[in-house]
Amino acid sequence: MKITVICGGVGGAKFIRGLREHLRQTDPGAEITAIVNTGDDMWLTSLRIAPDLDSVMYTLAGQNDEVRGWGRLDESERVSTDMREYGVGWPWFTLGDLDLSTHITRSHYLRSGLPLSEATARITARWPLGVRLIPATDDEVETHVVLAEDGSEMHFQEWWTRHRAALPITGFVQRGLDGSTPAPGVLEAIAEADVVLFAPSNPVVSIGPVLGIPGIRDTVEGTSAPVIGVSPIIAGAVVRGMADACLTAIGVATAADAVALHYGARSRGGLIDGWLIDETDAASVPAIEAAGIRARAVPLWMKTVPLSAQLAADALALVG
C-alpha cells in the first residue's frame, strides 16, 4: 500500500511515527511518503533552517528532543551561546550544536547547487527512517504574518518563537509563492497514493502552505485515493503550539468540526473524505457528517508510540 501524508512539524512527526509502527506490524511492504511543510524555513546566519523537515526527520530517527518538541537529543548550545557574543543570529531562536550540524550540512548541499529535495534525501539517508521525506517545494516559499498594528510583515518564525504568536495579525502571506512548483515526486505521491492523510498539524501554517504550492491542492482534490484528516484540535484547544492564534487570524474557530469544514468535503469541492476527532468531541460527528465528511471519534492524544500507531490505524480504518 502507498500512503502519502501531508504534514508539518511536531504533530505530524509523531503521527507518521505511529503510522510507520502500525504498518510495520500490518503491512511491512507499505511505502510511506511524507510531504513536509517548508513555510517555516528561513536563512539565519547564512544557514538554511528547515524546522518541520528536521522535526519529522529527528523524530523518525529517534533523535528528537521529545520534551522540547524540536531539536535533537543530548543537545548542547556552546556555539549559539558564543554567537550571541558576536551579536549575530536570533537570540530567541536557539540552534543547538548537533542541530547546527544538520543546518550546516543542508546549507552546504544548497550552496553546492542541489535542490532542497536532494539535500533532504542525502541528509535523511543517514538514518533508516522507513519513510520518504519530500519538501513541499524546492523553492523558498516562506510564511510571513501581517501585523495588525501597521500592516507590515514579519517572518512566521519570529512571530512564533520571539512573540509566541501573541502579536495581533490580520493574516498570512506565502512569500515567493508565485512561480513556485511542487518538489519532484510530490504530485505523483498524492496522485498515485492508495491513501492520502492530513496529519494533525497546524491547518494554517503547516498543512495550508503545502496546499498553497501551485498544483498541490488540485492534485489532492483530484486524487483517486481517499483523503483522511486528523484533527489537531481536541476539546476546543490546541494540542501544542499556538494553532488557535493562527485559526483565529483566518476566521476559523478553534474546534475539531470547524477545521473539518475549513478543509471541506471532497464531494462538495473540498479536500477531505474523512475526519478523525477526539472522543471528547464526539458530539460533533453528526455536524461533520452532515457536511459530507465521514467522521469518527477516537482517542487522539499521541502520548506513546502505540497510541500513535492506533491513531494511524483508526485513520486508515476510516477509509473503509
Which of 3, 14, 20, 54 binds ligand FO1 (CB under 6 A)? It is 54
- Does residue 161 bind ligand FO1 (CB under 6 A)? yes
Q: Pick one of 17, 21, 32, 40: the residue that binds ligand FO1 (CB under 6 A).
A: 40
What is d(CA 262, CA 251) in angstroms, rounded to the nearest whole number? Answer: 10
- 219 contacts 191 by C-beta, under 8 angstroms: yes
* DSSP per-residue codes, 10-41: HHHHHHHHHHHHHHHHH-TT-EEEEEE--TT-
Given a contact cutoff of 8 angstroms between Cβ atoms, the answer to whether 133 and 36 are in contact is yes
Q: Which is nearer to ligand FO1, 71 or 226 (CB)?
A: 71
The DSSP symbol for 71 reads S
Q: How far is the CB of 141 from ligand FO1 (least distance, A)?
A: 14
Q: How many residues bind ligand FO1 (CB under 6 A)?
A: 16
Q: Is 95 in the site for ligand FO1 (CB under 6 A)?
A: yes
Q: Which of 51, 200, 209, 226 binds ligand FO1 (CB under 6 A)?
A: 51
Does 174 help bind ligand FO1 (rule: CB under 6 A)? no
Contact region with ligand FO1 (CB under 6 A), list: 14-22, 134-142, 155-163, 279-287? 155-163
Q: Is 94 in the site for ligand FO1 (CB under 6 A)?
A: yes
Q: Which residue is nearest to ligand FO1 (CB)?
A: 51
Give the span between the Cα atoms of 136 and 26, in whole angstroms: 28
Kindly provide the b/e burial profile for residues 98-132, where b requires at least 16 CB atoms within 10 angstroms of the residue's own CB. Answer: bbbebbeebbebbeeebbbbbbbbebbeeeebbbb
Whole-angstrom Cα distance, residue 199 to residue 52?
A: 13
Binding residues for ligand FO1, per CB under 6 A?
9, 40, 49, 51, 54-55, 70-71, 93-95, 99, 157, 160-161, 241
